Amino acid sequence: MATTMTPAEPLVRFSGVQKTYDGEQLVVRALDLDIERGEFLSLLGPSGSGKTTTLMMLAGFESPTAGDILLDGKQITRTPPHKRNFGMVFQNYALFPHLTVGENVAYPLTVRKVPKAEQATRVKKALDMVRLAGMADRLPTRLSGGQQQRVALARALVFNPELVLMDEPLGALDKQLREHMQIELKELHRQLGVTFVYVTHDQGEALTMSDRVAVFNEGVIQQLADVETLYEAPSNRFVAGFVGDSTVLTGTLHGAGGDDAAIQLPGGHLLPGRNVNHSARGARVQACVRPERIVLHPHTAYPKVSAVPATVARTIYHGDHLRLICDMGHGQEQATVKRALAQVSDAFPPPQPGDAVLLEFPPEATRIYAA
């Protein structure tokens, strides 16, 4: 007799969660979200989108106005923060300046009345984990921003939490250090297998570190997906515009719909693409295409597919690639084309401002959304 596999219970489940501060405007609207064991989940969105409020409700610092939060299938909606056994890392580190690094890391163990000898062992292990061995006796004020952030992370991990919550923890660091810490955090997550929930407004940060990303806007998750799906197949116009760069084309929908659709530009060009939101024929739509997917041709070329004439407005050097900002006319936004320097040749040197070019928009990369 065949057995039916029961889906694994998620570590955390938000069910119909709402939050309002004034009784009128919902900051979080009817949130349903499952957080799987061991995953690195990022909550991504602009300011005021509801991502930080969601994290604070999970941490217990805010209470939902409606709905339930479950941990391992058990209700924790009214459980106070100190009883949730979650590690927390804040943007401002929240270290005690008068305590040493070791004392800061040991603080959660002291609160939990862990014996001193065991505290010393676990603090050493936590500091080794974040590459701060030998710094236990220093004061936080004598450390760099990156080192202070590592102390905050060690403190969040030292008591073996089942969940680590991070609220824009790298926001105060400079770009180079932030990118270095992103790699370190992801590697630490891989080694430990602990569930990380990470709030950020930085799309690059979310794509670099996450297993899955929940994109928030106006209190609603617009899309929840792995990073490749999020970048390559945004589910609506907001996600397409917020995650990664896109060239946006405005026109009307032509064709039957689905994969047979095309966007008709004001200049008359028809560009086939995917009708993501199932817009009706003749509807006003916008197509989004990633800059690296647009194929650049000399204006004298004859591409096999429909290409749109444009004029290079300016070129921007990015080290490994050029970004060409192109005017398409007919009231369209400027198109951004990313061209790898490896593609530059004597036969087709980098276009200069004022040069005429042809832009090819591959159908598989042209995603058409309701405007």
Asked whether residue 46 falls in the same domain as residue 133, the answer is: yes
DSSP string, 37-88: TT-EEEEE--TTSSHHHHHHHHHTSS--SEEEEEETTEE-TT--GGGS-EEE
DSSP designation for 56: H
User: Domain total for the chain?
Assistant: 2
Asked whether residue 148 falls in the same domain as residue 119, the answer is: yes
Q: What is the mean pLDDT of residues 102-130?
A: 93
Residue 122, SS3 per DSSP:
helix
Long-range Cβ contact pairs of 60-63 (< 8 A, separation 24 or more): 60/84, 60/86, 62/19
317 within 8 A of 303, measured Cβ to Cβ: no
**pLDDT tens digits for range 45-95:** 999 999 999 999 999 999 999 999 999 999 999 999 988 989 999 888 789
Percent of the chain with pLDDT over 70: 94
Residue 6 included in any domain: no
DSSP string, 260-271: G-EEEPTTS-EE
Q: What is the CATH number of the domain that holds 280?
A: 2.40.50.140
Cβ neighbours for 24, distance < 8 A, ≥ 6 positions apart? none
What's the residue count for the chain?
A: 371
C-alpha closest to that of 316 among 355, 350, 359? 350
- Distances from the Cα of 34 to the Cα of 79, 146, 194, angstroms: 19, 31, 16
Specify the DSSP element, H or E, that contains 104: helix 101-111
pLDDT of residue 303: 66
Residue 50 included in any domain: yes
**pLDDT tens digits for range 153-187:** 999 999 989 899 999 988 878 888 888 889 989 99
Residue 1 included in any domain: no
223 within 8 A of 239, measured Cβ to Cβ: yes
Asked whether residue 194 falls in the same domain as residue 273, the answer is: no
Residue 130 included in any domain: yes
Residue 59 included in any domain: yes
pLDDT of residue 180: 87
118's tokens: 């065991």
Cβ neighbours for 244, distance < 8 A, ≥ 6 positions apart? 203, 207, 231, 290
Residue 2 included in any domain: no
DSSP designation for 79: -
Confidence tier at 1 by pLDDT (50, 70, 90):
very low
Domain boundary among 216, 237, 258: 237
**pLDDT tens digits for range 298-340:** 888 776 667 899 999 999 988 888 899 999 988 888 999 998 8
**Mean pLDDT for all residues in the chain:** 90
Exposed (0-12), middle (13-18) or buried (19+): which is 125, by Cβ within 10 Å? Answer: middle
Asked whether residue 118 falls in the same domain as residue 213, the answer is: yes
Asked whether residue 82 falls in the same domain as residue 219, the answer is: yes
Residue 330 included in any domain: yes
135 within 8 A of 85, measured Cβ to Cβ: no
Neighbours of 276 (CB within 10 A): 22
C-alpha closest to that of 67 among 53, 46, 87? 53
What is d(CA 119, CA 115) in angstroms, rounded to the nearest whole number?
6
What does R_g of the chain's alpha carbons equal in angstroms? 25
Asked whether residue 269 falls in the same domain as residue 202, the answer is: no
Residue 3 included in any domain: no
Asked whether residue 55 falls in the same domain as residue 32, the answer is: yes
Q: What is the CATH number of the domain that holds 220?
A: 3.40.50.300
150's tokens: 């590592």
54 within 8 A of 217, measured Cβ to Cβ: no
Domain boundary among 198, 220, 237: 237
**pLDDT tens digits for range 203-253:** 999 999 999 999 999 999 999 999 999 999 999 999 999 998 999 999 999
Residue 175: which domain range? 12-237
Asked whether residue 232 falls in the same domain as residue 258, the answer is: no
Please say if the pLDDT value at position 13 is more than 70: yes
Domain boundary among 202, 237, 272: 237
Asked whether residue 232 falls in the same domain as residue 323, the answer is: no
User: What is the amino acid identity at position 84?
Assistant: R
Asked whether residue 233 falls in the same domain as residue 250, the answer is: no
Cβ neighbours for 277, distance < 8 A, ≥ 6 positions apart? 236, 237, 368, 369, 370
**pLDDT tens digits for range 184-198:** 899 999 998 999 999
pTM as predicted = 0.89
C-alpha closest to that of 365 among 296, 272, 228, 301? 272
Among the ranges given (252-261, 275-284, 291-300), the one the predictor scored with the smallest mean pLDDT:
252-261
Asked whether residue 53 falls in the same domain as residue 163, the answer is: yes
Please say if the pLDDT value at position 149 is more than 60: yes
Partnered with residue 308 across adjacent β-strands are 359
Asked whether residue 117 falls in the same domain as residue 188, the answer is: yes
326 within 8 A of 312, measured Cβ to Cβ: yes
